[in-house]
Chain A
Amino acid sequence: MKTFQYERPADADTAVALLADAPTGAYLGGGTNLVDLMKLGVAAPDLLVDVSRLPFDAVEETGTGGLRIGAAVRNSTLAVHPLVRERYPVLSQALLSGASTQLRNAATVGGNLLQRTRCPYFQDVGKPCNKRRPGTGCPAREGAHRDLAVLGASEHCVATNPSDMAVALAALDAIVDVASGHGPRRVPLTDLHRLPGDAPDRDTTLRHGELITAVELPPPMPGARSAYRKARDRASYAFALASVGAVLQVREGLVHHVRVAFGALAAKPWRARTAEEALLGEPATTASFDDAVRHELAAARPLRDNGYKVPLARRMAVSMLTELAAASAGGTP
Chain B
Amino acid sequence: MRVTFTVNGREQEADDVWEGESLLYVLRERMGLPGSKNACEQGECGSCTVRLDDVPVCSCLVAAGQVQGREVVTVEGLADQARERGGRATDGTTLDQAKGWQAKPHGAQAAQPGQLAPIQQAFIDAGAVQCGFCTPGLLVAADELLERNSSPTDADIREALSGNLCRCTGYEKILDAVRLAAARQDEVV
A binds B: yes
Binding site for B on A (CB under 8 A): 1-6, 8, 28, 30-32, 35-36, 38-40, 48, 50, 52, 74, 76, 99-103, 105-106, 235-237
Q: Beyond A30-B61, A105-B52, A236-B159: 7 further Cβ-contacts under 8 Å?
A: A2-B20, A4-B20, A6-B63, A31-B61, A31-B62, A31-B66, A100-B163
Interface stretch among B42-50, B79-87, B176-184?
A: B42-50
Cα of A1 to Cα of B57 in the assembled complex, Å: 21
Check if B158 sits within 8 Å of A102, measured CB to CB. no
Q: Provided the pairs A3-B18, A6-B1, A101-B56 are in contact, do residues A36 and B46 lie with their beta carbons within 8 angstroms? A: no
Contacts of A2 in B (CB 8 A): 20
Contacts of B19 in A (CB 8 A): 3-6, 48
Binding site for A on B (CB under 8 A): 1, 18-20, 22, 41-43, 46, 49, 52, 55-58, 61-63, 65-66, 68, 141, 158-160, 162-164
Cα of A31 to Cα of B61 in the assembled complex, Å: 6
Q: Provided the pairs A101-B163, A103-B43 are in contact, do residues A35 and B63 lie with their beta carbons within 8 angstroms? A: yes
From A236, which residue of chain B is reached at the shortest CB distance?
B162
Check if A102 sits within 8 Å of B1, measured CB to CB. no
Contacts of B63 in A (CB 8 A): 6, 28, 31, 35, 48, 50
The one of A30, A101, A106, A235 that contacts B160, using a Cβ cutoff of 8 Å? A101
Cα of A40 to Cα of B60 in the assembled complex, Å: 13
Contacts of B66 in A (CB 8 A): 8, 28, 31, 50, 52
Check if A105 sits within 8 Å of B57, measured CB to CB. yes
Check if B61 sits within 8 Å of A1, measured CB to CB. no
Cα of A74 to Cα of B52 in the assembled complex, Å: 13
Cα of A40 to Cα of B43 in the assembled complex, Å: 12
The one of A28, A36, A106, A237 that contacts B57, using a Cβ cutoff of 8 Å? A106
Contacts of B162 in A (CB 8 A): 100-101, 235-237
23 A-B pairs in the complex with CB atoms less than 8 angstroms apart = A3-B19, A4-B20, A6-B1, A6-B63, A8-B65, A8-B66, A31-B61, A35-B22, A39-B41, A39-B42, A48-B19, A50-B63, A50-B65, A74-B55, A100-B164, A101-B141, A101-B162, A102-B46, A102-B56, A106-B57, A106-B58, A236-B159, A237-B162
Check if A105 sits within 8 Å of B56, measured CB to CB. yes
CB distance from B170 to the nearest CB of A (A): 14
Contacts of A32 in B (CB 8 A): 43, 58, 61
From B68, which residue of chain A is reached at the shortest CB distance?
A8
Check if B163 sits within 8 Å of A237, measured CB to CB. yes
Contacts of B42 in A (CB 8 A): 36, 39-40
CB distance from B40 to the nearest CB of A (A): 10
* A28, A101, A105 interface centre (most CB from chain B within 10 Å): A101
Contacts of A48 in B (CB 8 A): 19, 63, 65
Check if A235 sits within 8 Å of B18, measured CB to CB. no
Contacts of A6 in B (CB 8 A): 1, 19, 63, 65
Contacts of B141 in A (CB 8 A): 101-102
Check if B58 sits within 8 Å of A102, measured CB to CB. yes
Cα of A39 to Cα of B20 in the assembled complex, Å: 9
Contacts of A36 in B (CB 8 A): 42-43, 61
Contacts of A30 in B (CB 8 A): 61
Contacts of B58 in A (CB 8 A): 32, 102-103, 106
Check if A76 sits within 8 Å of B163, measured CB to CB. no
From A28, which residue of chain B is reached at the shortest CB distance?
B63
10 pairs of A and B residues whose beta carbons are closest in the complex = A100-B163, A236-B162, A105-B55, A237-B162, A6-B65, A6-B19, A1-B20, A106-B57, A102-B163, A35-B61
The one of B43, B65, B68, B159 that contacts A102, using a Cβ cutoff of 8 Å? B43
CB distance from B143 to the nearest CB of A (A): 12
CB distance from A21 to the nearest CB of B (A): 18
Contacts of A99 in B (CB 8 A): 163
* B22, B61, B62, B163 interface centre (most CB from chain A within 10 Å): B61
Check if A76 sits within 8 Å of B43, measured CB to CB. no
Contacts of A3 in B (CB 8 A): 18-20
Cα of A99 to Cα of B43 in the assembled complex, Å: 10
From A37, which residue of chain B is reached at the shortest CB distance?
B42
From B21, which residue of chain A is reached at the shortest CB distance?
A1
Contacts of B61 in A (CB 8 A): 30-32, 35-36, 103, 106
From A53, which residue of chain B is reached at the shortest CB distance?
B66
Cα of A259 to Cα of B114 in the assembled complex, Å: 57
Contacts of B57 in A (CB 8 A): 102-103, 105-106
Contacts of A74 in B (CB 8 A): 55
Cα of A255 to Cα of B55 in the assembled complex, Å: 42
Q: Provided the pairs A52-B66, A106-B61 are in contact, do residues A101 and B20 lie with their beta carbons within 8 angstroms? A: no
Check if B20 sits within 8 Å of A106, measured CB to CB. no
Contacts of A50 in B (CB 8 A): 63, 65-66
CB distance from A250 to the nearest CB of B (A): 31
